[in-house]
Amino acid sequence: MLDEDIILRALTIAGDLGADYVEVRLQSDKNYSIVFRDGGLEVYGYEINEGLSVRTLVNGSMGFATTDSLDPSSISEVVEDSVKLARAQGGGSLRLAEIQSYSISYEARVKERFEDIDLDEKLRYLSDLDKEVVSLGNDVKVAGRTFILDYTLTRKLIATSDGIMVQSVIPRFEIMMYVVLSYNGRSMTRFTGVGGSMGWEGIRVWEPKIFFRDNIKALINVIKNAKEVEDGVYDIILGPETSGLAAHESCGHPFELDRILGREGAQAGESFITIDMLGEQISSEEVTVIDDPTLPYSYGFYLFDDEGVRARPRYLIKNGVINEFLMNRETAVVLGLESNAAARASAYNREPIVRMANTYFAPGTHSFEELIEDVDRGIYLKSFGEWNIDDRRYNMRFIGQEAYLIEDGEIKYPLWNPVFEITVPNFYARIDAVDKNLEFYPATCGKSDPGQGVPVYIGGPNIRIRGIHVSKGV
Amino acid sequence: MVEIDVSELAQNILRKVLGFADDCVVLVESSKSHQVRFSQNRIDIAKTWNETSIGIMMDKDKKVNVIELSLPSVKDIDEVLKAAEKALVSSQPKPIYAELPPISTGIKRVGTAVDPDIRDKPEKLIDLVHIAMESARSVGAKRSAGSIRGNYVSIALASSRGAEVLRDEYTNVYMDIRAFLDGEETGHASQLSRSIAGIDAEELGREAGEVAKLNANQVVFEPGRYDTLITPNAAASIMNLAARASSGFFFLMGMSFFAGKLGEEVASSNLNLYDDPFNANSRLPRLFDDEGVATRKNKIIENGVLRGLLHNRFTAKAFNSELTGNSGWVVPHPWHLEVEPGDYTRDELVTELRKGLILNNVTYIRFQNYVTGDFSGIIRDGLFYVEGGEIKGAVKGLRFSDNALRILKNVVALGNDVKDIYHWWLEFGTSVSTPSLLVKNCGYTRAFGY
């Protein structure tokens, strides 16, 4: 499938047709998915999605064409389509940032190939998980359980007319759980999971049975014992799951330069962050937010992006200062900068656009106990249920799922669905402490039209925010 | 491109699978699509897709496995099917199993659902983008962004439960434009059609620009409960939630706020919701579902009562229901939603509202609890306040925070202003024909520090 001849043929044809820039990507995604619901196999699925995309720049206009037919005539035709579409726009002003040329190949190696594990062993594992979860219920009814075991092996070969050739192989494995709990007129629904860039060995590394068991135990405590929150002002401690989501939604997305420049204006939206805010202090010196594709074994792992640019950690906020944006070659050139390798495409038939990888608050120096002991009246918001944020990424909301009242430096009892709704500048201005823990959770980040869901990690340390209004909602 | 004979491909694969499986259905979908995206008054990119997807669902001893392939895998089909045969042996029977239904025969479309220009003339899409951008500018928009996408789809379905290969083909085109003034003043407009001639780009640009101007001088409003006129743009998102909740799969999974309420009142008695693939502007005007069952118009909510769910063979068995022609192999889903209109003009609804809000669009809806239906959504492209039956101005800073069932039950009037809506964020690619809804006591919250 990853045939260099196909790539080189496409590059040559595009050059002959007068394209100023050509980028060709062959991509194959092989996915295995098992849905196990209420103790039985719902479906076992296997998917192969592979093909070729050709992105061309002609007189400052961009064309993009894809095909899943890899015979010579189809390849010629898809290149012609791409150039024709670019040319039909009548000329534009798009340029791409400069890049070094190189040829490189890399692979995220697994210890146990997912494909080599028999299906019946996977089903036994899921059955054990299900039994474990059901057994925890007692007087709380675990009314619905769905486990999804999902593995994708992605192979790519990317080449550009400016001398890039990058070949990669990346596995991604996750186990997700959706549960419905009911007790005494109350109900709770929760999605959560573990995962990363690993093979079947992830089962031992992430210990899903322990992770899901602890989740369910905590939810049982909440559904049985949670009290209504009193509307008022609290100090908030966000757990790693929630601080990670906050970093992703309120820093990662508004720092995407395509949004800042308006390219997602009718789709994902724009940003309250503007270019002239680079260098502005928006948080305390305790706060650094990193997006790092190079984290080994992470769900958002890659070493070269889908324009072939070498990846590195991006320090979006550094010691409270807006430090850099997420950029691809198309947007970086507007600022006179090099791309920082944020171009990702979710499949062969999607254009590479600016995306996150693994976004998190950098750990600080405090212990978790130190964050708590300094709080007179607060809420420990460990996990979330509902969340959203407006399309300028200015106005965000989380509702706690596993959340506890803090009084006089001690965690007291669980709270029922405390609503935390705040502007993003206000959020960053009020963070005063970050602990030294670091946990990650797999997630799929959605953006654009047609939609592109890409694998990411959200996570981080516990962070403390002072003096926030919390309510029980409407 | 190499022309794919989708019927022959489907039949060939079916024959191979039936060498080891009891039953099988093969769905081959070949498509050619184009999209032009624009922002900041210029085109960003023009795209073309050529794709063929091959879906195979196979049964053996009540075990059911599913395979999805793209075209390059067809050359390795014997190897793929060998692995599939092995997986079937290791697999487990479905706890609720139903046999593959016989395919519906003699299904024919009246007229055509294809505009060949959508497939063959992407340059026409580029022309429409220029017209829409210029039109938005002409009414005062500083800049605009949006996209237009046209799809041609050809489908063949072969099943072990029928000798005939079912065929279908259709086109659709969707355009949206968002006009911007200086900051948060935005306006949105969209159109959906099955032919390029059905897109009035000039009207779209004008409408988006006019809404953006209405959005000027926004004021921060107090959170609370307000009677609300929900326009078709926003109503489409809310009705999409209702349709999702009526999928038999989500019912079983515990992801439906309708769970346990079949036959009960779930909405105001004036609300009627249907799934109708034959609507003139249905984005998915499918003649048959993914199991080869003829599609049909289905009642979901009738006079406020939840009358039916959307089913594939497994969920129909679980609910002891007949098939509804809504099969996705795992998740049954709607094709095109219709909300039955009322008698009110838009102006009459504003007058009837007297004091309250007009909600023009809502997106990014997330649930705190799928079972109870508690959710919130982001307000986009217009929230206006009304006093004395007149629009007084624009509002900012609020979030739509409520409960899906409460909203459905609080619908007090429906307009006659039906629009055909498709948003890129709607699930399953479902389009919606809906009028404006007048809803009592909708909840709104505001962020701390706004």
Q: Give residue-wise pLDDT tens across range B242-296.
A: 999 999 999 999 999 999 999 999 999 999 999 999 999 999 999 999 999 999 9
**Domains of chain B (ranges plus CATH)?**
6-214 (3.30.2290.10), 219-446 (no CATH)
SS3 call for A225: helix
Distance (Å) from the alpha carbon of B197 to chain A's nearest alpha carbon: 20
Size of interface A-B (CB pairs under 8 A): 272
Q: What phi and psi values does residue A243 have, to the nearest 5 degrees? A: -65, -35
Contact at CB, B45 and A67, closer than 8 angstroms = no
Domain residue extents for chain A:
4-225, 228-471
pLDDT tens digits, one per residue of B185-197: 999 999 999 999 9
Other beta carbons within 10 Å of B342: 23
What pLDDT, on the 0 to 100 scale, is given for residue A303?
98
Chain A neighbors of B204, CB-CB under 8 A: none
Spatial separation of the C-alpha atoms in residues B116 and B200, rounded to whole Å: 18
pLDDT recorded at residue B449: 84
Q: Which of B73, B78, B62 is nearest to B19 (CA)?
A: B78
Of A42, A48, A188, the CB nearest to B369: A188
Instruction: Report CA-CA distances (Å) from B86 to A178, A435, B3, B60, B79.
Output: 29, 50, 32, 11, 11
**Given a cut of 80, is residue B3 above it in pLDDT?**
no
CB contacts, 8 Å: A189 with chain B: 254-255, 367, 369-371
Kindly report the nearest CA distance between residue A373 and chain B, in angstroms. 25
With a cut of 70, list the residues of chain A below it in pLDDT: 1, 474
Instruction: Say whether A421 and B446 touch across the interface (CB within 8 A).
Output: yes
Q: Could you write out the DSSP letters of every residue in A147-197?
A: EEEEEEEEEEEEEETTSEEEEEEEEEEEEEEEEEEEETTEEEEEEEEEEES
Distance to chain B for A343, nearest Cα, Å: 15
Judging contacts by C-beta atoms under 8 Å, the chain A residues touching residue B91 are 41, 44, 119, 123
Residue with the two structure tokens 């401690």: A237
Residues 6+ apart with CB under 8 A from A256: A264, A271, A325, A326, A342, A354, A355, A356
Helix (H, G, I), strand (E, B) or coil at A353: strand
Distance between CA atoms of residues B436 and B360, nearest Å = 10
> Which tokens go with B396?
């900012």
B80: contact with A, CB 8 A cutoff: yes
Q: Is A324 exposed, middle or buried (0-12, 13-18, 19+ CB in 10 A)?
A: middle
How far is B232 from B356, CA to CA, in rounded Å?
A: 17
Q: Which of A44, A63, A385 sits opposite B65 (nearest CB)?
A: A44
pLDDT-derived band of residue B110, with 50, 70 and 90 as boundaries?
Answer: confident
CA gap A243, A359 in Å, rounded: 10
Dihedral over Cα of A95, B184, A287, B399: its sign: negative
Amino acid identity of residue A358, one-letter, is N
Cα–Cα distance measured from residue A111 to residue B201, given in angstroms and rounded to the nearest whole number: 55
* pLDDT tens, position by position, B311-323: 999 999 999 999 9
With beta carbons under 8 A apart, name residues in chain B contacting A264. Answer: 39, 145
Q: How confident is the model at residue B15 (pLDDT cuts 50, 70, 90)?
A: very high
pLDDT tens-digit readout, B112-145: 899 999 999 999 999 999 999 999 999 999 999 9
**Torsion, CA A431, CA A436, CA A439, CA A445, rounded to 10:** 30
- Per-residue pLDDT at B1: 56
Distance CA B265, CA B268 (A): 8
For residue B405, the distance in angstroms to the closest alpha carbon of chain A comes to: 14
Task: List all residues 6 or more positions away from B141 whose beta carbon is below 8 Å from its beta carbon.
Answer: B179, B180, B181, B187, B205, B208, B209, B212
pLDDT at residue number B428: 84
* B146 vs A contacts (CB less than 8 Å): 265-266
Q: Which residues of B touch A38 (CB under 8 A)?
A: 95
Nearest-angstrom CA–CA distance, A457 and A287: 19
Asked whether A472 and A419 are in contact (CB, 8 A), the reply is: yes
Residue among A119, A187, A421 minimizing CB distance to B399: A421
Distances (CA, A) of A353 to A178, A197, B57, B169, B212: 30, 21, 34, 31, 27
Which chain A residue shows the shortest CA-CA distance from B150? A450
**What counts of helices (H) and strands (E) characterise chain B?**
10, 22
Query: Which region holds residue B288: left if phi is over 0, alpha if psi is between -120 and 50, else beta?
Result: beta
Nearest to A351 among B45, B370, B399 (CB): B45
Give the pLDDT score at B448: 87
Whether residue A143 and residue B254 make contact (CB cut-off 8 A), yes or no, is: yes
User: In angstroms, rounded to a whole number, what is the distance separating the alpha carbons of residues A211 and B358?
Assistant: 45
- Classify the phi-psi angles of B106: left when phi > 0, otherwise alpha if psi is within -120 to 50, otherwise beta: left
Relative to beta strand B224-230, strand B356-359 is parallel
- CA A49 to chain B, closest CA, distance in angstroms equals 5
Of B91, B176, B223, the CB nearest to A44: B91
Alpha-helical (H) ranges within B56-121 are 77-90, 116-120
Answer whether A82 sits within 8 Å of B48, measured CB to CB: yes
The CATH code of the domain at A4-225 is 3.30.2290.10
B68:A47 CB<8 A: yes
**Whole-number average pLDDT of chain B:** 96
Taking phi over 0 as left and psi of -120 to 50 as alpha, with beta for the rest, B327 belongs to: beta
Q: Say yes or no for a CB contact (<8 Å) between A64 and B45.
A: yes
Percent of chain B with pLDDT over 90: 93
Whole-angstrom Cα distance, residue B57 to residue B159? 9
pLDDT confidence tier of residue B111, bands split at 50, 70 and 90: confident
What's the pLDDT score for residue A352?
98
Cβ neighbours of A118 in B, within 8 Å: 90
CA distance B298 to chain A (A): 25
* Predicted pLDDT at A3: 87
Q: Which of A63, A69, A471 sits opposite B71 (nearest CB)?
A: A69
Q: What does the pLDDT read at residue B214? A: 94
- Which of A373, A376, A400, A379 has the alpha carbon at shortest distance from A468? A379
* pLDDT surpasses 90 at B158: yes
Put simply, the answer to whether B178 touches A266 (Cβ < 8 Å) is: yes
Residues of B with Cβ-Cβ distance to A178 under 8 angstroms: 253-255
pTM of the model: 0.97
Residues A402-411: tens digit of each pLDDT: 999 999 999 9
Distance CA B200, CA B177 (A): 12
